[in-house]
Amino acid sequence: MSEILSAPYVLEYTYTRSTGPVVGRFLESLRYEVLEGVKTADGRVLCPPLEYDEEGEPTTDEFVQLRPSGTVKSWSWVPEPRKGHPFDRPFAWALIQIDGADNAMVHAVDAQKAKRMRTGMRVRLRWADEKHGTIHDIACFEPMASYVPSPVHLEYDVNPGKHYSAYLRGLQEGKLIGGRDPEAGKVYVPPRGADPMTGNPTDEYVEVADVGVLTTFAIIRIPFEGQKLTPPYCFGAIVLDGADSPIYHLISGVPHDEIRMGMRVKAKWKPQDEWETSLENILYFEPTGEPDASFDSYKEHL
């Protein structure tokens, strides 16, 4: 047992501080979302304003209004803020030279990610919602991007057309439907309305197997915008038995280093009660375990 007694102890002083004509004017202006600097005797501008410059010369009583933006001169990323910091999430401290000023201001930058911070970056001031005539009236600064948001939003009704509708209806019943050129005999899955080789209509529908040959594949390892799956995953081209064109789907149920061209694969269907008019009725294709198809048997489909 320790002989030394110990107890928590809080030290607080409820001091107030007089502000004077220079600091006081600056802080008061913040209430009205006005950012001002003060001119020095030799014509420079200090923001935040001080009563004396570094030469010890009194600054003038001439104030200039400044744009609420500036440039980061140095910064420090704080991954785990301390109690008393301006944010309780990661943020940056920065020395910010306000546009039109010759000195720099210490403040926080709400940048979300350390990667967004660099010396020389442009920042804009974010005002606090409630103002009290203190430096906290500047909530923080935020990165200024040299681009503007430019989203597009258009609303359409789509219909898949007659042949694709037949294909999707087939899927709803667990069937894979292709369109056949009656002259050339080629079967396209999904049906396209015409054989691109002959130009003949492919009005004849035939059902093809849910088993086929993996003709080629890619393993996706990099993330991208709008990605639904977590990398790595495999995407492959499958020529179903009875078809002359491939469909594209996920390859799963096999280690990635064992996936190969010519591998025989079979559709893994969702439970029947979940079937819709969608290729998503098939979760993925997996190996059948049959011997691989020879290269010559599918090379024309590559």
Partner 1 sequence: MRDVAIVSFSQLPSVKAIDATDEPELVQPVTSDAMKQLGLTQDDIGFTCSGSTDYLPGRPFSFVAAVDGLKAWPPIRESHVEMDGAFALYEAWVRLMHGDIDTALVFSFGKSSLGPVPDILNLQNDPYYVQPLGLDSISAAALQAQAMIDAGKATERDFAEVVARSRMNAIDNPNAHIKGDFSVDEMLEEPYISSPLRKSFCSPLSDSAAAIVLAVEDRARELVKRPAWIRGIDHRTEPHALGQRDLTTSPSSKLAAEKAGLVQGKVDLAELHAPFAHQELILREAMGLGDEVSVNPSGGALAANSLMTAGLIRFGEAASRILSGDAGRALAHTTNGVCLQHNLVAILEGE
Residue 293 CB neighbour total at 10 angstroms: 18
CB 284 within 8 A of CB 259: no
When the beta carbons of 51 and 183 are compared against partner 1, the nearer one is 51
Query: Considering the complex, what minimum distance in angstroms separates the CB of residue 135 from partner 1?
Result: 5
Query: Considering the complex, what minimum distance in angstroms separates the CB of residue 70 from partner 1?
Result: 11
Measured between its terminal Cα atoms, the distance across the chain in Å is: 80
Of 133, 91, 83, whose CA–CA distance to 111 is shortest? 91
Sheet holding 45-46, edge to edge: 45-46, 36-39, 63-65
3-class secondary-structure state, position 21: helix
Instruction: State both tokens at 129.
Output: 């919602």
3-class secondary-structure state, position 131: coil
Query: Considering the complex, what minimum distance in angstroms separates the CB of residue 146 from partner 1?
Result: 20
When the beta carbons of 86 and 193 are compared against partner 1, the nearer one is 86
When the beta carbons of 108 and 250 are compared against partner 1, the nearer one is 108
Q: Which residues pair with 265 in a beta bridge?
A: 212, 287
When the beta carbons of 69 and 97 are compared against partner 1, the nearer one is 97
Query: Considering the complex, what minimum distance in angstroms separates the CB of residue 125 from partner 1?
Result: 14
Site for partner 1, rule CB under 8 A: 2-4, 9, 11, 17, 19, 23, 27, 46, 48, 50, 53-54, 73-80, 82-86, 93-95, 97, 103-108, 114, 119, 134-136
Query: Considering the complex, what minimum distance in angstroms separates the CB of residue 51 from partner 1?
Result: 11
When the beta carbons of 79 and 291 are compared against partner 1, the nearer one is 79
Query: Considering the complex, what minimum distance in angstroms separates the CB of residue 147 from partner 1?
Result: 24
User: To which residue do tokens 């993925």 refer?
Assistant: 284
Query: Considering the complex, what minimum distance in angstroms separates the CB of residue 77 from partner 1?
Result: 4
- Using a 10 angstrom Cβ sphere, with 0-12 exposed, 13-18 middle and 19 or more buried, the burial of residue 212 is buried
Of 111, 121, 105, whose CA–CA distance to 90 is shortest? 111
Query: Considering the complex, what minimum distance in angstroms separates the CB of residue 82 from partner 1?
Result: 6
When the beta carbons of 107 and 186 are compared against partner 1, the nearer one is 107
When the beta carbons of 105 and 213 are compared against partner 1, the nearer one is 105
CA dist 159 and 242 (Å) reads 27
- Using a 10 angstrom Cβ sphere, with 0-12 exposed, 13-18 middle and 19 or more buried, the burial of residue 80 is exposed
| H or E segment to which residue 215 belongs | strand 211-220
- DSSP designation for 221: -
Of 243, 122, 142, whose CA–CA distance to 186 is shortest? 243
When the beta carbons of 50 and 219 are compared against partner 1, the nearer one is 50
Of 146, 144, 145, 301, whose CA–CA distance to 216 is shortest? 301
